[in-house]
Amino acid sequence: MNTVSPILVREETLDPSYLPTRLVRRDIELELLRRRYRESLAKGLPFHLLLTGGVGSGKTALVRRLASDLERGGRLGGFPVKAAYVNCWRRASDRTVMLDLLRMVQVSLPDRGYSLSEMLDVFEQGIRKNPSHLLVLLDEASSLVRQETKLVYLLSRSREVELGSISLVLVASEDLFPYLDPASRSSFGVTHRLSLAPYDRAALTDILESRAELALRPGSIDREVLDQIARIAAPNGDARFALEVLSGAAHAAEEAGADSVGAEHVRRAKGSLLPTVSETQLESLSTNELGVLLALSRTLKRRGASTTSQKLRANHTALLEELGADPMSRTTFWRTLKELERDGLVVLEMGSSGESNNVSMDELPASLLTTLLEERVGRGRSRKA
Ligand SMILES: Nc1ncnc2c1ncn2[C@@H]1O[C@H](COP(=O)(O)OP(=O)(O)OP(=O)(O)O)[C@@H](O)[C@H]1O
Ligand SMILES: [Mg+2]
């Protein structure tokens, strides 16, 4: 009977649709935007914004958090703030976006027979029924804007609603400014554009920690393991991928009946999310590389997230002895390790002593690598013999 307590205690808080109350590492951006909106709306003026940033840089989370905070912040210039969020990814035409917006101000129009400006008139009537500052969030706005949208222009100009205002937030992973028509560009001057830098490893670790605190049983994951996940996601600065690995690793740990999430579970999760090493790639590796990888996978199986190059070399020497192979010189060992690093199979980092290096590998679960590599090295040996 398995008596290990669950690790994922609030799994729904890792779901992409969950909006955390606090966005760590985006406090400055959020505060800046909150202030700009509050100042402008308090004067009865709309504020338009173009928000860009790479995949998983927190754009959607940031604008949803901003909208929710403004909605709950009370009246500005006499009117409440109301947000209308549209994901334009699959609704990349002015009309379909407009129909969504109409629904949000509780008016419905048949899908045909109305021009865009007529629809906009009806939309403004809808707002007048419930006077407010409307914050229109158009997420994934790339294809909409690239299709020479008129909606962006019309929404950014329809400021005289008599009661309240309409502010526009465009969100995209690429800079949309060059695609805007000259008239719309004037609404998106420099203070109306914000580009989010990709998260670095330290930021990703903090984000993972804050989300693990929500979703996982206290004490079920170490900061070291969170850092391991952050290192995997850091090349793209993608928080979504980092959270997917966290969720996958927590599931893997539960399935294994473990008490906490370990390095091995992270490797397993990453392997299933992004199988970067194919068997074809493994076939193309030299016997030297295979040997070092096998030694590394065995070392990591026992040691956790990373090991030192000295320990790896000692285990590698032992492995060669075990296989009855010739010992490898220090230079060849290093060259092989560097080749593996170049191929993206291992990560080398200078250790604190300056002399020793930390070696880690996140590409595949150690157990799978061991099986594959033992097969290969074993086969190579019997072929040679
Ligand atoms: N600063 C943060 N603190 C906590 N969670 C965050 C933070 N930034 C992003 N996240 C989480 O990471 C995931 C990805 O963020 P989000 O969806 O906002 O990225 P995005 O920039 O919109 O990506 P895409 O370009 O793919 O749409 C979400 O689950 C979000 O809640
Ligand atoms: Mg997004």
**pLDDT, tens digit, for every residue of 352-369?**
665 668 888 865 566 666
Taking only the tens place, the pLDDT of each residue in 205-228 is: 999 999 999 999 999 999 999 999
Taking only the tens place, the pLDDT of each residue in 287-308 is: 788 889 888 888 886 555 688 9
Distance CA 254, CA 174 (A): 39
For the chain, what percent of residues have pLDDT higher than 90? Answer: 52
Closest residue CA from atom 25 of ligand 1: 55
Residue list, ligand 1 pocket, CB within 6 Å = 16, 20, 23-26, 53, 55-61, 173, 207, 210-211, 239-240, 243
Which pLDDT band holds residue 79 (cuts at 50, 70, 90)?
very high
Which pLDDT band holds residue 57 (cuts at 50, 70, 90)?
very high
The mean pLDDT value for 194-215 works out to 97
Question: What's the CA-to-centroid distance between 54 and ligand 2, angstroms?
Answer: 9
Question: What's the CA-to-centroid distance between 240 and ligand 2, angstroms?
Answer: 9
Pocket test for ligand 1, best of 51, 240, 246 (most atoms within 8 A of CB): 240
Q: Which atom of ligand 1 is the closest one to the Cα of 23?
A: 3
Distance CA 96, CA 33 (A): 28
Q: Which helix (H) or strand (E) holds 14?
A: none
Give, as residue ranges, everything with CB less than 5 Å from ion ligand 2.
60
Q: Which atom of ligand 1 is the closest one to the Cα of 140?
A: 27
Do 200-273 and 279-384 show the same overall fold? Answer: no
User: Of the bound ligands, which one is closest to the alpha carbon of residue 85?
Assistant: 2
The mean pLDDT value for 49-74 works out to 96
The mean pLDDT value for 258-270 works out to 92
Its pTM stands at: 0.77
- The full set of domain ranges for the chain reads 27-196, 200-273, 279-384
Question: What's the CA-to-centroid distance between 136 and ligand 1, angstroms?
Answer: 19
Ordered strands of the 357-360 beta sheet: 306-308, 357-360, 347-350
Distance CA 311, CA 295 (A): 10
pLDDT at 305: 67
Both tokens of residue 305? 């997230």
What fold is seen in the domain 200-273? Answer: Helicase, Ruva Protein; domain 3 (1.10.8)
- β-bridge mates for residue 169, sequence order: 49, 137
Residue 276 has pLDDT above 60, yes or no: no
Residue 93, Cα to own-chain centre: how many angstroms? 27
Q: Which atom of ligand 1 is the closest one to the Cα of 18?
A: 31
Question: What's the CA-to-centroid distance between 328 and ligand 2, angstroms?
Answer: 49
Of 3.40.630.30, 3.40.50.300, 3.40.640.10, 3.30.300.20, which CATH number belongs to 27-196? 3.40.50.300
Give the chain's length.
Answer: 385
Sign of the alpha-carbon torsion through 108, 110, 111, 114: negative
pLDDT at 362: 67
For the domain 279-384, what is the CATH code?
Answer: 1.10.10.10
Q: Which atom of ligand 1 is the closest one to the Cα of 173?
A: 25
